[in-house]
Structure formats: structure tokens, C-alpha cells
Amino acid sequence: MIGIWGILGFAFYFSYTNERALVEKSVYEKLFSIGWTLVGAIDGDAHEALAQRFTKKDEIDDPNFAPFAALSRILLRAHQNNHLPSDIYTLVLNQRLVEQIKAEPNHLHQGGTEFILMSGPKPYYRHQYDYRPVMSTVFFRGEPAKTAPYMDDHGYWVSVYIPIKNSKEEVVALLEVDYPMDELYKQVKSALKNRLVLLLFLCLLTGIIMWLIIALERFSEAASRFVPNEFLQQLGKKSLINVAPGDSVQKEMTVFFSDIRAFTTLSEQMTPSQNFQFINSYLSVMGPIVRQHGGFIDKFIGDAIMALFYGNCDDALFASIQMIQALLEYNQKRADEGLCPIKIGIGLNCGQLMLGTVGESNRIDGTVISDAVNLAARIEGLTKIYGANILISEHALRSLKNPDSFQIRQLDTIKAKGKSIAVTVYEVLNGDPPEVREAKIATRVAFEKACHLLGIKQIQQAKQLFEACLAQNPHDKAAQVHCARCEELLQGNH
């Protein structure tokens, strides 16, 4: 609050000094303009003759005296036409003090000058007036001059002085045009009042604009929680305002699905409030990991997460592995609170998809439409069957830039619903506990050969290899599933 008042105070002070300088400049320019116009109209020789003819105070007491009146009318017309608040007059040096003034031209000499002409109704002929140092510029150098603001017995003034010269270019008098400072301050105050009103208006307008900007930022931030900014960027839209139903774009992306296993059973043990609290606490751990690896969450489906990653699958796979590791810490906190641990499964697929909006004029939603999405969801579902943490499709495997960074084994070959072409699914072992991962790596060659034999209908040989894998790694659920499948196929052949 102090900062705002400080800024306003500085702005007011700056406005005042700036406006005063502008008004003073304008006043000086006006006075000089009037002065030069008058000097051009005054006959310097006539003025000199008048001053030499009458040398005593009030010697001219008749304002209608012809030579005097002729010159005085020039000043009077200028005074009236320019609506000046003070008189215009001419001055000559007091001859009794000339030598003293010449000796000390830069000093104030009281009575150092005398009036000759004045624009007022009463002549002040030969009345004495102060000699100011700035007048030396006019009397002795023949150049115009101006005063800084000064005070005398009649008020607070600024003045300009213009030399009056005869036909020989000799300075015979000085023309003085005054302006009272109170009138100048009135102009400053008037202008400052207008500027202050404008300043307050601008402050109010700035406050409104800042409030709108903050409100829009908050709205944008809130909106991005429902429709990710990355989603809008992919559509080439700057904000939700520009989005319309049917906007879409085709992209090569990696689709990510994750799900909490046995969530239905788990949720039945909690109240609705506890369910929401649990889901939100879980998602608050997993959501940031997606963003850290360059992905964005397309939607939450209950306890499930659907996310999208640009281009190759590496970022999505690194995010998946970090999620499995983060789940260990999350489960430790649950254990400390006396809660049971949870397990999740993750499925990844890479392919062309349509990213866009669906709905109608009053309700639209962002969505992704593609077989790649359906396949990713299907692969995630297989994690429950095979007891795997992370499964990826052959398309995702081929899109990896650095496949050697991961421990991967072939798991199964499936057909997506409504599709005739089979797709190979792979298990990523990096997220498994070290002992589980090492055991699967030790049997990987035999396991993958058994999968190949199963694929070419060499059931018995495949079963033997799966049994050998189980003998070495009894907890390999995928080997258990395949072994049971082989048994069913062999029984079906008899």
C-alpha cells in the first residue's frame, strides 16, 4: 500500500514540476511576443524626445497630452488585446544614478530607473522604480532578458525586458511586461487538476486492466486443469475461446494408460469422501511425473490416467518407470498409516491418432480417436493377466530411440478387437524390483523362444520351455499363464 502511495506521490510531484515548467515557458514566450510586437510599434526617437523634454516627476499629469497619449495608447491596446493581468510600461535609467549603476551593474539599485509610459489610466511619469541586475543586459548590451520569479511590494512576478532603440540603434529605454505568479499558479493548478484527474483515471484503468489480467490468468490456469494447454497447442489454438466442435489434427503420438488394480474392491471399503481423497492423493503423485517427461494428461477416468507424449516412446517409458518407483514411496506412506499397498499397470502404444474436440455448441470436450488408443487400453488391461507393471506394443518398441536403455522381453501376441493383424506385446522390466528383474532376465532367452514356439503351434515344446522358466523363476506369472494356456491347448487336441 505504501508503495502505491509512493508511486502516486512521485507521479504527482513529477506532474507538478513538469506542468509548472511548461506553463512558465508558455508565459515567457507570450510576454516576449507581446514585448517585441510593442517595441516594433513604438517610435524610439519619439520616446527619447518625450523623455528628454520632460524630466521632472509628474510633469506630465494629463494623460491626454498628445505626444504622451499617442505612445501610451499603443501599450493600452496591447494590454487590453492580450488580456494581461498587469500593466505594461517603459523605463529609463535614473540619470542621477547612472554612474553608480554602471559601476555596479549586477547589483540591485533602488530607484535606479524611472517610469515613462504605462498602460494604466494614471500616468506615473518619472516615478522611480528599482533597477534589477538583469536589466544590465538590456541597457548596456541591447539584448532582451527575463527574470526568475521575484517578489516586490506589489506581489510575486516574472518579467521580460525588451530594449527600445532609436534610429541610431542606441538603447533609449526598456519595455517591461510583467506577469503575476498567482495567475501563473492558477494555470498550473488548473492544468494539474486536469492531469491529476487523468492520472487517477489512468490508475483506475490500470487497476481494472491488472484485475482483468489476473482474472484471465486465473481463468486460464483453471481452464488448463480441465483442458491442457498442450492440447490447445496441438490444435493450434491460443485459448479455449478459439476452440469449436470439430477442431482436430492428426499426430504421431505415444498413448499412455495406467490403472489401479482391484480398485473396485478397494473402493468398496471406503466412503465416497475417502474414495475421492484417495484418488486425488494418488493422482497428485503420478500427474506431475507425466509433465516432467514432456507428456500431458488427456483425461482422468476414475482411477485411470490417459496421457499423451509427443513422437517416440522413450519419454513415456521413462515416465512409466518413474511412476512404478514413486509407487513404492507412496505405498510406504500408506503402510505408515495402516493402509494396504496398491498396484498399478501401465500400457503404452505409439501410432497415428486424431486429436480434437467433440460435442455441440453448448458443451464440447477434448478427445483422442484412434485404434492406437484402443490398443493402448487393451495392452494396459493385459498387465492384470500377466502380473506385469509395464507393457508396450511392438509399435512403441520400434519408436524407441534408445531401446538399449531398457530391459525388455517379448510377452505375447494379441489381436485388437475387430482387427485381423496380430500385434506383439513386450514387457518392460526396469520397473520391477531388482530380484524379480534379474530372475526374468536370466530366463528371457528361453521365455521368448517358448513364446515363438507357441506362436507357431509347437505347443508341447513351448510348454516344456515355459516349465523350465518356472523351475528357475517360480513367481513368473507370465510363464504361469502361458504354461496353463499350453495345457489347455494340448487337452483340446485330445
Q: How many other CB atoms are there within 10 angstroms of residue 114's CB atom?
A: 24
| Cβ-based neighbours of 416, under 8 Å, separated by 6 or more | 371, 374, 375, 378, 423
The more confident residue out of 431 and 492 is 431
> Radius of gyration over alpha carbons of the chain, in Å?
49
Same domain, 116 and 249: no
Same domain, 396 and 305: yes
* Span of 37-41, 129-133, 211-215, 437-441 with lowest mean pLDDT: 211-215
Q: What is the pLDDT, as a whole number, of residue 245?
A: 58
Mean pLDDT within 368-394: 91
Same domain, 44 and 124: yes
Within-domain flag for 375: yes
Per-residue pLDDT tens over the stretch 269-314: 889 898 989 999 999 999 999 999 999 888 888 889 999 998 779 9
Q: What is the pLDDT, as a whole number, of residue 243?
A: 59
Which CATH number is 294's domain given?
Answer: 3.30.70.1230
Q: What is the pLDDT, as a whole number, of residue 431?
A: 87
Contact between 147 and 134 (Cβ < 8 Å): yes
Listed residues 406, 432, 458: the one ending a domain: 432
Cell matching residue 116: 515613462
Within-domain flag for 388: yes
* Span of 104-118, 195-209, 331-345, 396-410 with lowest mean pLDDT: 195-209
Same domain, 157 and 269: no
Band (84; pLDDT cuts 50, 70, 90): confident
Within-domain flag for 193: no
Within-domain flag for 439: no
Within-domain flag for 23: yes
Q: What is the pLDDT, as a whole number, of residue 355?
A: 76
Q: In the predicted model, is pLDDT for residue 144 greater than 70? A: yes
Q: In the predicted model, is pLDDT for residue 203 greater than 90? A: no
Q: In the predicted model, is pLDDT for residue 361 greater than 70? A: no
Mean pLDDT within 389-408: 94
Quote the DSSP letter at residue 42: S
Same domain, 354 and 285: yes
Listed residue (188, 179, 169) closest to 146, CA to CA: 179
Print the domain residue range for 21.
Answer: 2-186
Mean pLDDT within 221-240: 56
Q: What is the pLDDT, as a whole number, of residue 474?
A: 93
Same domain, 116 and 22: yes
* CA 299 to centroid of chain Cα atoms: 29
Q: In the predicted model, is pLDDT for residue 365 greater than 80? A: no
* CA 238 to centroid of chain Cα atoms: 15
The more confident residue out of 373 and 217 is 373
Same domain, 146 and 241: no
Q: What is the pLDDT, as a whole number, of residue 166?
A: 94
Listed residue (23, 37, 54) closest to 175, CA to CA: 37
What share of the chain in percent tops pLDDT 70?
84
Q: In the predicted model, is pLDDT for residue 112 greater than 70? A: yes
Same domain, 170 and 280: no
Mean pLDDT within 114-142: 87
The more confident residue out of 66 and 452 is 452
426 forms beta bridges with: 392, 410
Within-domain flag for 443: no
Q: In the predicted model, is pLDDT for residue 20 greater than 90? A: no
The more confident residue out of 218 and 29 is 29
Same domain, 84 and 168: yes
Q: In the predicted model, is pLDDT for residue 460 greater than 70? A: yes
Q: What is the pLDDT, as a whole number, of residue 439?
A: 93
Which CATH number is 31's domain given?
Answer: 3.30.450.20
Same domain, 306 and 172: no
Q: In the predicted model, is pLDDT for residue 191 greater than 70? A: no
Listed residues 391, 413, 432: the one ending a domain: 432
Same domain, 279 and 181: no
Mean pLDDT within 220-229: 55
Same domain, 142 and 265: no
Band (333; pLDDT cuts 50, 70, 90): very high
- What are the CA-CA distances from residue 13 to residues 26, 34, 194, 203 (Å)? 20, 32, 14, 16
Q: In the predicted model, is pLDDT for residue 430 greater than 80? A: yes
Q: What is the pLDDT, as a whole number, of residue 396?
A: 94
Listed residues 397, 432, 467: the one ending a domain: 432
> What is the average pLDDT score of the chain?
85
Q: In the predicted model, is pLDDT for residue 394 greater than 90? A: yes
* Span of 109-113, 148-152, 214-218, 310-314 with lowest mean pLDDT: 214-218
Within-domain flag for 48: yes
Within-domain flag for 345: yes
Q: How far apart are CA 174 and CA 113, in angstroms?
A: 10
Query: How many domains is the chain built from?
Result: 2
